[in-house]
């Protein structure tokens, strides 16, 4: 096993915009690191540079203590699982898994022992004689993993290994990969564009956007302390609501109020209020689950947040919670600024409706007014021009 260290890694294809732009990232020995970001953010390129399938334009890549910039892929002792499995159709499951051992001229008994052990771990024992064409998608994926883990590699690298599977199987395989990685304890780098996979699988998650590393942290850190609008909007489902707000103080100068399209409310958090500085406009980020149906919130808790009165447009009852959609209109000057930001973030995160996730027992109904409680201790405040999180 080994740590993987990336120092100021840059990748340029031709003379265009760098696909990977000055990324420095340490993957610790035994760690499960996720690289996540939207399509084209450079995550596969970064993974391919770790494995050696892509040249590094500048910067330094280390596996353990060894600089590997010029080391051939074969000599890096890494195992990679690809999105399309890349199984050999004419070989049996046994021979597909055995392939890296055969390449390394491993002795026959040892091959049998290791393949059988791997097959058992992945519940493939009864399929060892079959050809890949006669397997289900999930089984094929397991064979691809078997081939990666059968030899003692220093690290495993996964490039979107579950994207060809249906939702149910993806969920199942996610748990299997997680269990397997913990059991083997091998350094793992896993690329995905799926934030759910990122949040559930990794010890730490590195979020990339347009080749630039935005934030590295545990899933909890990314969820609770996103450094900017991009990370805040990318992590969490349904995604965070961003509301433009004018900042006002009351006459005594004590309370700080946020005038948002959902209503005016007091920001009952001195630290956050101080972070606003002298800005007159901020973007307020509120996660859907940091709203609650006010009628379900006790007095104690009410005092820790603020209330807004809204008109609900659509509701969706999901059994364990109730989503309510609250349309709003931002004032024109703010709306224009938001459209610019939206384009910059290539997303529709700055939408014109708030999504709130309420307790399933809520009786809030479409077309009616409702009072919502906001947990103001958990709201985020963003600088509208830079997108940086001020809190």
> Which residues sit at the interface with ligand ATP, rule CB under 6 A?
13, 19, 37, 39-45, 193
In the numeric block, which tokens belong to residue 204? 């730490």
Nearer to ligand ATP, 8 or 136 (CB): 8
Nearer to ligand ATP, 2 or 162 (CB): 162
Nearer to ligand ATP, 44 or 228 (CB): 44
Q: How far is the CB of 25 from ligand ATP (least distance, A)?
A: 15
Q: How far is the CB of 14 from ligand ATP (least distance, A)?
A: 7
Nearer to ligand ATP, 8 or 302 (CB): 8
Q: How far is the CB of 45 from ligand ATP (least distance, A)?
A: 3
Q: How far is the CB of 239 from ligand ATP (least distance, A)?
A: 18
Q: How far is the CB of 20 from ligand ATP (least distance, A)?
A: 7
Q: Distance between CA 46 and CA 363 in Å, rounded?
A: 48
Q: Which of 354, 352, 372, 373 is nearest to 364 (CA)?
A: 372
Q: Which of 203, 210, 207, 204 is nearest to 235 (CA)?
A: 207
**Residue reference for tokens 């990232």:** 25
Q: How far is the CB of 44 from ligand ATP (least distance, A)?
A: 3
Sequential DSSP letters for 222-274: HHHS-SBHHHHHHSSSSPPEEEEEEEEE-TTS--EEEEETTEEEE---HHHHH
Nearer to ligand ATP, 45 or 362 (CB): 45
List all residues 6 or more positions away from 91 whose beta carbon is below 8 Å from its beta carbon: 99, 131, 132
Nearer to ligand ATP, 14 or 253 (CB): 14
The secondary structure of the chain in percent helix, strand, coil, rounded to multiples of 5, reads: 30, 30, 40
Nearer to ligand ATP, 46 or 324 (CB): 46
Q: Which of 132, 122, 135, 123 is nearest to 177 (CA)?
A: 122
Q: Distance between CA 138 and CA 39 in Å, rounded?
A: 24
Nearer to ligand ATP, 98 or 213 (CB): 213
Nearer to ligand ATP, 114 or 193 (CB): 193
Residue 83, SS3?
Answer: coil
Q: How far is the CB of 62 from ligand ATP (least distance, A)?
A: 21
Residue 192 main-chain phi, psi, to 5 deg: -155, 160
- Name beta bridge partners: 284: 243, 381
Q: How far is the CB of 164 from ligand ATP (least distance, A)?
A: 13
Nearer to ligand ATP, 13 or 317 (CB): 13
Q: How far is the CB of 144 from ligand ATP (least distance, A)?
A: 18
Q: 58: part of which helix (H) or strand (E)?
A: strand 58-63
Q: How far is the CB of 117 from ligand ATP (least distance, A)?
A: 33
- Name beta bridge partners: 256: 249
Q: Distance between CA 253 and CA 230 in Å, rounded?
A: 32
Ranges of beta strands (E only) in 133-232 are 155-159, 187-192, 204-209, 212-217
Q: Distance between CA 296 and CA 313 in Å, rounded?
A: 20
């Amino acid at each position: 096993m080994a740590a993987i260290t990336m120092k100021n890694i840059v990748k340029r294809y031709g003379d265009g915009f760098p696909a990977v732009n000055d990324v420095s990232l340490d993957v610790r020995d035994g760690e499960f690191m996720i690289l996540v970001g939207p399509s084209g953010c450079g995550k596969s390129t970064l993974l391919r540079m770790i494995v050696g399938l892509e040249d590094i334009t500048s910067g330094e890549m280390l596996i353990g203590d060894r600089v590997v910039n010029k080391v051939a892929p074969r000599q890096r002792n890494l195992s990679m699982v690809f999105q399309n499995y890349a199984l050999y159709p004419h070989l049996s499951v046994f021979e597909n898994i055995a392939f890296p051992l055969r390449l390394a001229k491993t002795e026959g008994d040892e091959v049998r022992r290791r393949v059988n052990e791997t097959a058992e771990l992945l519940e493939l024992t009864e399929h060892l004689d079959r050809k890949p064409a006669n397997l289900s998608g999930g089984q094929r994926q397991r064979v691809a993993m078997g081939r990666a883990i059968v030899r003692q590699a220093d690290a495993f690298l996964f490039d979107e290994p579950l994207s060809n599977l249906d939702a149910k199987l993806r969920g199942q395989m996610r748990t299997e990969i997680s269990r397997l990685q913990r059991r083997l304890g091998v350094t793992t780098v896993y690329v995905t564009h799926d934030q759910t996979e990122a949040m559930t699988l990794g010890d730490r998650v590195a979020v990339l956007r347009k080749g630039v590393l935005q934030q590295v942290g545990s899933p909890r850190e990314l969820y609770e302390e996103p450094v900017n609008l991009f990370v805040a909007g990318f992590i969490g489902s349904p995604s965070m609501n961003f509301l433009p707000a004018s900042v006002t103080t009351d006459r005594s100068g004590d309370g700080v109020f946020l005038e948002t399209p959902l209503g005016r409310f007091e920001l009952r958090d001195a630290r956050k209020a101080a972070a606003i500085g002298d800005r007159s406009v901020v973007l307020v980020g509120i996660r859907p689950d940091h709203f609650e149906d006010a009628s379900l919130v006790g007095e104690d808790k009410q005092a820790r947040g603020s209330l807004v009165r809204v008109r609900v447009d659509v509701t969706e009852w999901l059994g364990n919670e109730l989503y309510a959609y609250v349309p709003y209109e931002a004032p024109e000057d703010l709306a224009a600024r938001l459209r610019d930001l939206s384009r910059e973030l290539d997303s529709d995160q700055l939408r014109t409706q708030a999504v709130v996730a309420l307790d399933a027992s809520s009786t809030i109904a479409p077309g009616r007014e409702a009072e919502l409680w906001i947990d103001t201790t958990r709201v985020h405040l963003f600088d509208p021009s830079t997108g940086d999180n001020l809190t």
